[in-house]
Amino acid sequence: MLLVAACVLCVAGWSAPKAPKLKTEKECLKILKQNPTDRSAHARLAQIAWQCADTAEAMKHLDAVLKVEKRDTLCLDLRARIYLQRQQWSNALADITSAVCNGMKVDGMESVKSLTVTQRNQLVARLELAERNSEQKQTVRAALELLTASMRDSSATIADTDSVELPVKYRIPYRKAFDEIQVDAVVAGLTIHVTIDEKEEKCKISAIEADFMQKNDYIHRDEIVDKNTFRFRSIEIGDISIADLEVERDAHLKSSMVINLSAFTKLGTATLNPEEMVIEIR
């Protein structure tokens, strides 16, 4: 009988419903022009930017979503992955904890898969504290059990980067000036002093430097995102080149330019070696 019914449906031209088509970047931007706070458009643009390795753009849209809805678990998970990439461990663990406490299963979180054993221990401690006030106690408890089990299991496929050190691909010497870490960089054809700031979330350029570059046509039109944002084709520091780095114009910035370690993400993971005064990229 079921077979007959299926045949009738096929003859009638019925087919299973198709998955909704994902919106393009152009469609999302059009939506945001009409409604700048549209969560689904921001979330989709964040996903597109992440796939293009543009973490600054992805973070901008994720922040826009989470400013409106702090419990958006998918956006929390993606933002945690970016924080992990930037080595902002505390922020990453805070977002993972929030996602779990709002009902996201830990075994479905991409961010958790890249945690080291040490970071998993820290996550367990955070979840144990958060469990008391969470409305999703069952999800939190399940996450704690899974995390604890994975740390006991010696065959767990978690790479503990605390114990496995990757080889250094690049070494960039830096200097200290007024307690700042500085390097020389070629930006838009000009050599300027760039400050490296581990705590700064966004890369910035001083208003004075940006205005000079624009006035003298050092910045190409296609590098101007808007009046306060630029995406430089390439920034050369020593032997390396950083492509498509987005920076924000800052009227209060004293340095010519400030970049964070996440600016080197496309080349690898960057860390400071204070003993030898070099930036190491692995």
Tens of pLDDT along 112-171?
Answer: 877 777 777 778 777 777 776 667 777 777 777 877 776 565 344 444 444 445 677 788
pLDDT for 127 equals: 79
pLDDT for 207 equals: 94
Instruction: State the average pLDDT for the chain.
Output: 80
- Domain locations in the chain? 23-152, 170-281
Percentage of residues in the chain having pLDDT higher than 70: 85
Mean pLDDT of 196-203: 84
Long-range contacts of 33-40 (CB under 8 A, 24+ apart): 37/64, 37/68, 39/64, 39/65, 39/68, 39/69, 39/72
Who has greater pLDDT, 85 or 230? 230
Mean pLDDT of 192-217: 90
Cα torsion for 78, 81, 83, 88, to the nearest 10°? 150
Cβ atoms within 10 Å, residue 250: 18
pLDDT for 14 equals: 47
Mean pLDDT of 208-232: 91
pLDDT for 198 equals: 78
pLDDT in tens, 20-78: 567 788 898 999 999 998 999 999 999 888 888 888 899 999 999 998 888 898 899 89
CA distance 205 to 247: 6
- CA neighbours within 13 Å on the CB side: how many for 65? 24
- The answer on pLDDT for 10 being more than 70 is no
* Confidence at 239, pLDDT banded by 50, 70, 90: confident
As to burial, measured by CB atoms within 10 angstroms (0-12 exposed, 13-18 middle, 19+ buried), residue 140 is buried
- The answer on pLDDT for 18 being more than 60 is no
pLDDT for 133 equals: 66
pLDDT for 150 equals: 65
pLDDT for 242 equals: 87
Percentage of residues in the chain having pLDDT higher than 90: 26
For the domain bounded by 170-281, which CATH number is listed? Answer: 2.40.70.10
- The answer on pLDDT for 211 being more than 90 is yes
- The answer on pLDDT for 84 being more than 50 is yes
For tokens 């999800």, name the residue: 139
pLDDT for 152 equals: 60
For the domain bounded by 23-152, which CATH number is listed? Answer: 1.25.40.10
pLDDT for 35 equals: 92
142: closest CA among 91, 113, 114, 104? 104
Mean pLDDT of 86-102: 82
